[in-house]
Amino acid sequence: MEKIGLLKNTIQEYAWGSPRAIPDLLGQRNPENKPQAELWMGAHPKAPSRVQYNGQWVSLLDLISKSPKDVLGEKTAKNFDNKLPYLFKVLAAAKPLSIQAHPNLRQAREGFKRENARRIPLDASHRNYRDDNHKPECLCALTQFWALSRFRSISGMLSYLEKVCAHGLEPEIKDLKRQPTSDGLKRFYTALMSMDARRQNQVVAEALKQAQRFTSDDPVFQWMLKIADDYPNDIGVLSPILLNLICLEPGQAIFLNAGELHAYLKGLGIELMANSDNVLRGGLTPKHVDVPELLRVLEFEDKDATLLKPQASIADELVYPSPAKEFELSVITLNKGAQYRSPVDRSVEILICTRGKATLTDYSSQTETQLQQGASALIPAAVERYAVRGEGVCYKAAVPI
């Protein structure tokens, strides 16, 4: 494939999704008011995009399989075993997502092999590893976006715990005070996740009762109560006091690596990650929760969330640098009369227009592809160079060169 191709993408209807945000972005109706949580752009086997190619809609998986070097580029095809290494998403959270973490590459390969040996079907509800890849990810806010990311400082955690759980978690709080280290944090969180349901319910009830006293002082307590509305008696209600609570403004982005506990709470954002669907959950979900496996992959370090600072690349483009080898996120802001010109040395890219409209021009063939708001396109590596003009905003997924 040597041409720019429009994409048709799958919408995942998870329970926490917004019934309005993605339909509004795409200019589509949602008459049944179903929760539309994620728009997937890429070649994950669970929901590959379809590409407009020679008058037909063809699976991106099939196109890559037939012409990996043309689509991916020779270097990317070689480095990632003829696979598109990233998965690009629009994420729309109306309710909190599950508390979760992702395995590193070694853990993912071992876990996938282990569950295959046990002959657990890939679509089984109790399966942890649906592929053999890791899942570093970044998220850039399109609207104000609330999230939880990484364990907060142990001193801050203890301050919150003593306000809301001084009685119910007295032994665990004392133990954490005695050893305010990574090992102490691991022991504390393990005790919290492993206690019997009756005691968990008592701890949650105490925490919520106390949190009501402080809601005017701190959004942490407000979020505890909001989470409890959707997930009563879930120990995940304590997550806003255990993890860093952050509010991203539009254009701000965070990065999450393997083993980092996190949850997205509310908002619309662009998400870019390694091409994986491996999730270990720790609460706030009706889905499978495997506490021992979650504890095995978690990194018990208290540190601030990683905000990505965008850097100017070329005219009209800002890049969000991250340590990921599989992906690079950037945003192209188009003003009337201006034109973005792609670099010569580039990889396979996916563009989505999130505001306004854009025209993509292939320099070699001089063919044009129109992107209205919500539309997306694949730019194969075989397209030597292209330009973008119009008035609007486009987010771009690429492989770092």
Residues annotated as catalytic (active site), given as ranges: 281
395 closest CA partner among 40, 84, 142: 142
Phi, psi (rounded to 5 degrees) for 274: -65, 155
Q: How far is CA 253 from the centre of its chain?
A: 11
Spatial distance between the Cα atoms of 177 and 185, rounded to a whole number of angstroms: 10
- The answer to whether 153 touches 302, Cβ cutoff 8 Å, is yes
- The answer to whether 111 touches 278, Cβ cutoff 8 Å, is yes
Q: What does the DSSP assignment read for 55-102?
A: TEEEEHHHHHHH-HHHHH-HHHHHHTTTS--EEEEEEEESSPPPEEE-
Distance (Å) of CA 380 to CA 3, 58, 319, 397: 7, 14, 20, 12
- Which tokens belong to 232? 């009563």
For helices 219-230 and 154-164, angle between their N-to-C axes, nearest 10 degrees: 70
Spatial distance between the Cα atoms of 375 and 18, rounded to a whole number of angstroms: 19
Phi, psi (rounded to 5 degrees) for 174: -60, -40
Partners of 23 in the beta sheet?
none
Spatial distance between the Cα atoms of 158 and 299, rounded to a whole number of angstroms: 19
For the chain, the residue count is 401
Spatial distance between the Cα atoms of 128 and 117, rounded to a whole number of angstroms: 13
Spatial distance between the Cα atoms of 207 and 162, rounded to a whole number of angstroms: 10
